Each structure stands twice: as structure tokens, then as C-alpha cells.
Homo-oligomer: A and B are copies of this chain.
């Protein structure tokens, strides 16, 4: 939110977004200036005090958009202690009431700001690990679960359900599990574009760029040891072993998929380390075996900033999903795999993890969409 306000005022460069680059020039993308933000939060306050607290932007820059941010006040979020350790209170509403409230928040918001279209992005803290069970497998079971207040339906799933029912494209940028057959089918049926899970920002981004390099050179990865330290609230949540499991599983899939074999010693560790703040640091050690079985090593130390890497992807996703919606597409948007650690994939297919194959998918989709748009323009 702060970023858009700053860019709109010309106070910050438009880095980090494909939707602001030549790559997407052929698409009819919603202007950055026209985006309006609202959202839910477990904490009260406003976007200004939250930004201040998270200490991501230089203070003097932040002050220049204070007014805009003060005006954004979150609605109370739907949450559950079962899925989030730091949520201390039990839900007071039924599942159905929660879905209704989410829906109402959206329609009120749209009316209040006189908005043409909506997109929902899940940016909430990582929920605890959960298995896919019967209640998640068919739309009937899922809706029956909502009716019976089934505790296995997570807050993230409720948001996704509400979005699809309202015809609002949805992206799950969090690692929380939302790829469930019930909602995949609903999105397809209702022609609502959906994308997820878990924004690919730092270490996994690097991993999915380096792994294809090893393939190209036929270097065998014998071990990959990854450590992350971060000091923001995301880091604190991941100190909860059950949330940590969700995240680590999300980070581990890509490697084997890209390389085509199970890397024997692949470890991912995430630690809360306060001095790092919102900055995030990854240290990777990679053991490779080359010609004649000779061993070599690569160490990568990424000194990055969590929100700075994530925010432009969120803007890209919102705008690409909006384009997809207007083009009449629905269900899983495979061309957006580029943005995720655990990209959604249709049942019966495999997820695409290779960063450059992912990019290729997006390029092809953009070319196709641009061509259609050009031919429509030619007709009209």
C-alpha cells in the first residue's frame, strides 16, 4: 500500500514488477494509480502505524504518504487458534457467518470506493500444517462442512471460498494450504481465476534459478542445506513447529521436481532471529558432484528484504488475475506459477517449478492475450 502511494506520487522508482515493464506492454493492465487497497487484520490500527511498526521503509519516505496510509483501516480478520498460534481467541461466529462477513466487507468496500472490479490476495501469517481430508475433497462436503462448522476448514479456505462465490479472482500468497479439490472445482465452474501458493521471494527464488543450471550442466546435487534467519512477525509465527512444517514443506518441493530426482540431503531451516528485523537472510550450501564423481561446493548468502521482494509480486498478481478474469478465464492460472514456491497445478498434471520454464509460460500467455486484444482492437 505504501509502495503504491509512493510510486503514484513519483517518490519511488517502479522496480520489481513485470506489470510495469515492457514484458507486459501488450496487455490491458489496470493502471497502478487506480488500485485501491483494503484488507483484514488480526490487529486494529491503520496501515500507517503497521508500516511504522514493521520498519520496512526509511522513515522520511514513509512520512510522505502518511495521510494515505492513515486512511486505510483493516476490518477484523477471521482467524482460529487451531491454525495460528498467535491467535488467542476462539471464533465467536459460525463458519457461515464468517464467510458472510468477509463477503460483506468486500461488497461494502467496492461500493464505498465505487470500484469496477476486485481481486483478493491472501497475505496472512502461515497457518499450521493440515492434511487434505474428506471435507476438502468435494464442493458438497466442503459446503456441508461450512454448515456444520467443521474445524478442519481453515480461515484461508473461507476467504478463498468467499472470493470465488463473489466472482473475485483470488491469490494465495501465503504457504497456508488452499489447493483443495473442492475449491479448485468451484473456481473452474464459476470461471474465477485463482493462483497460489506461497510467494517465491528469496531463497526458493534462488533455488529455482540455480537448480536448472545444474541440470543444464548435468551436475548432480548431492545435498542442499538451507538456513533462513528473519526477525519479523512472519519469523515469529514460524517458531511454531506446526506453522514451520507448512512453510518448510512448501520450500522443499521445487528442487526434486526441477532436477528429476530426489536430492538425498535437502534440508531447510527457518529461524526467528530478532536483529534481522524485516530484512531476511538466507545461507545456502550446495554440494554437487561433477565429472568423474568429483565434489564441489557453492555457498550463497542472500541479504534480502522480505516485504520489498514480496510487495511487487503482489501488485503483479493482482493485475494479472484481473486481466485473466476479464478475458473469461477461470480456475488455476498455471501461467502465474512464476510467483509461487508451491504453484497450483491441475489434478493429473505436475507443478512447474523451473523459474525459466515458468517465465516461458507467462510470456506465452501474455503473447496470446496480447494477440487476442490486438485482434479485438482491429475488429472494433
Contacts and interface: CB of A to CB of B under 8 A. Distances in A.
Interface of A: 3, 6-7, 12-13, 15-18, 20-21, 57, 59-61, 205-206, 209-210, 212-213, 216-220, 222-223, 225, 227, 229, 264-265, 267, 269, 271, 273-276, 281, 283, 285, 287, 289-305, 308-309, 311-312, 338, 355-356, 359
B267 A269 contact: no
B294 A220 contact: no
Nearest to A200: B217
Contact of A300 (B218, B271, B298, B359): B298
A290 B312 contact: yes
5 contacts: A15-B218, A210-B210, A223-B273, A269-B269, A301-B301
A220 to B, nearest CB: 6
A260 to B, nearest CB: 9
Nearest to A282: B298
B297 A303 contact: yes
Contacts of A289: 13, 15
A177 to B, nearest CB: 25
Contacts of A18: 216, 218
A10 to B, nearest CB: 12
A223 B275 contact: yes
Given A269-B269, A301-B298, A303-B296, A291 B216 contact: no
Interface centre among A216, A267, A273 (most CB of B within 10 A): A216
Nearest to A283: B283
A220 B311 CA distance: 16
A291 B309 contact: yes
| Copies per assembly | 4
Given A218-B17, A359-B216, A311 B291 contact: yes
Contacts of A264: 274
Contact of A298 (B6, B17, B61, B302): B302
A302 B298 CA distance: 4
Contacts of A301: 298-301
Contacts of A269: 227, 269, 271
The 5 closest A-B pairs by CB, nearest first: A223-B275, A209-B213, A356-B356, A12-B292, A16-B291
Given A209-B210, A291-B312, 19 more contacts: A15-B219, A15-B289, A15-B290, A15-B293, A16-B290, A18-B218, A60-B60, A206-B210, A209-B209, A216-B355, A227-B227, A269-B271, A290-B308, A290-B312, A291-B308, A291-B309, A291-B311, A296-B302, A300-B301
A97 to B, nearest CB: 37
Nearest to A20: B218
Contacts of A61: 292
Nearest to A354: B356
A271 B283 CA distance: 14
A293 B296 CA distance: 21
B205 A217 contact: yes
Contacts of A223: 273-276
A212 B356 contact: yes
A32 B305 CA distance: 37
B311 A273 contact: no
Contacts of A298: 206, 300-304
A275 B265 contact: yes
